[in-house]
Structure 1
């Protein structure tokens, strides 16, 4: 049979382990209150959270609306106002296509140049000075053509990634549709309360249960300690 001191030490250890476990919960609760900027009163948590989330959502929608409208205005300034049958996206497409056509022309010219060079060298109708000049120029021309290919691929990649957003910002109709969808994403108080109240109520219930567990562990610890000491005195 363990001594009274050993029994009391074990009881104290159990009680302390419960307090340590509750301390982790308390720290998590404190971090939650700080992150969500909640008041001290637990009863006000839901209302405070809903009010703050509504404000943040409103600011988020307002900021997006202002940014999108500013970008749209900038695009129209850079690419000109819409005219009959031609908007900013159409003008951009024309410019991109002009780049693609220029690349195709450069590629064809390079092929033609190489064919003529090979033909004239084979026919021995090319002057030595011209042959030397072309032999030195051809590698540079190929390098330049390769750089043009890289620019072409970059433009194609950019258009594939950002073309849809350019279209959205350049089109008044699509921009209006976007802003309307943004307006519809407004958080209503009722919807937020329906989600927030059960969660916070569960946290409050856990907090209450935590207090009950600590209280009960302390009560049992004192009760066991008194019983052990009483038994030890009788012995």
Structure 2
């Protein structure tokens, strides 16, 4: 990339290139790292993120998803930030809010919780789409120290910290490392439907 390309603004929208139109919440969702340090999330918006997560479907309505969350400026925000990987710590300090997604993996009888991780994934996706509806951006991360999160927040053994989520407003490329600037400006791509959806026999495309 040239120096001129690095002066480009982070795109406010990276609409998905789809074979048929999708709902804007889906088509417009993307995961920037360039977040605005001045963006704040109001009480209603913040509550709405987790209300959306609460109403995600789950196996047998077991509701295995839990979250540890805080807004920038709160002590818990800094504690969550401290559990993130070094690469994620570099940009998430500008987030308006951070959360750790935790899945229940053992049920009340001491047996493995069916589909606990799947339930957390559904709840996290609800949260992310609600962020889009609120005019915000959300970025989910695997780059975190699960053991550190467990110790920092006293997570019980039957629960597993699994992901972190940063939520905020769109910022600029100023001060971002070159490798992250490239990611912010890179087009969004996905495998074609022909590689993902089959019919009759494995590998035979439906679309």
Shorter-chain TM-score range: under 0.3
Larger RCO (CA within 8 A; separation ≥ 6): 1
- TM (norm. structure 1) is 0.22
| The structure with more radius of gyration | 1
Q: Which has the higher strand share?
A: 2
Q: Which has the higher helix share?
A: 1
